[in-house]
């Protein structure tokens, strides 16, 4: 990839592919000093578990998270003094999102199969619509105040996993019980 891009110039880069630092590092290194804005798709999965939801940007992160590679990438962007903004979405739902997790719920409900949920089902999580994520990503571009910032993207309210099942069942016209 780097060989193909080495002679290309861009004002901005949207990196929504890097899960580990090694995924993004070649692009970061190539465009250090050459890009005005690097928008990085991180994850709200970087935060320490908490009883208080939704997470806020200054909340403690978990260096052992399965998303620790995203934290490493954010740290590298800072270290390299890249003008960046990090977007940390929660579970994203809606048409054309890259990970249609809601489809799994709907398929099980439509098939009359049980929908297993973690723990008691009362664990809180956050959802965010793919269009809201797209708007947020577009709104940081060209915004000087967004440089060096981290933004969480999710709906205003948290929801339990049982709540997700009930909402999907109701949307599918099924008994949510």
pTM: 0.90
Q: DSSP letters of 91-156?
A: EEESTT-SS-HHHHHHHHHHTT-----STTS--EE-EEEHHHHHHHHHHHTT-GGGTT-EEEE--S
Domains and CATH numbers, the chain: 2-96+126-158 (3.40.50.720)
Query: Is residue 37 a contact partner of residue 142, using CB atoms and an 8 Å limit?
Result: yes
Query: Is residue 66 a contact partner of residue 91, using CB atoms and an 8 Å limit?
Result: no
pLDDT digits (tens, 9 = 90+) for 37-82: 999 999 999 999 988 888 999 999 999 999 999 999 999 999 999 9
Query: Is residue 67 a contact partner of residue 15, using CB atoms and an 8 Å limit?
Result: no
pLDDT digits (tens, 9 = 90+) for 17-49: 999 999 999 999 999 999 999 999 999 999 999
């Amino acid at each position: 990839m780097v060989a193909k891009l080495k002679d290309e110039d861009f004002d901005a880069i949207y990196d929504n592919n890097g899960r580990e630092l090694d995924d993004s590092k070649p692009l970061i290194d190539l465009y250090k000093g050459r890009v005005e804005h690097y928008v990085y798709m991180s994850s709200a999965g970087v935060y320490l578990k908490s009883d208080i939801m939704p997470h806020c940007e200054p909340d403690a992160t978990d260096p052992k998270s399965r998303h620790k590679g995203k934290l490493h990438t954010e740290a590298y962007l800072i270290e390299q003094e890249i003008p960046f903004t990090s977007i940390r979405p929660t579970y994203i739902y809606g048409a054309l999102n890259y990970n249609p997790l809601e489809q799994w719920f709907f398929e099980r409900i439509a098939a009359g199969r049980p929908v297993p949920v973690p723990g008691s089902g009362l664990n809180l999580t956050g959802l965010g619509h793919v269009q809201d994520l797209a708007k947020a990503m577009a709104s940081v571009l060209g915004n000087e105040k967004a440089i060096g910032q981290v933004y969480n993207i999710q709906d205003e309210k948290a929801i339990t996993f049982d709540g997700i099942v009930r909402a999907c069942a109701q949307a599918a016209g099924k008994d949510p019980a």
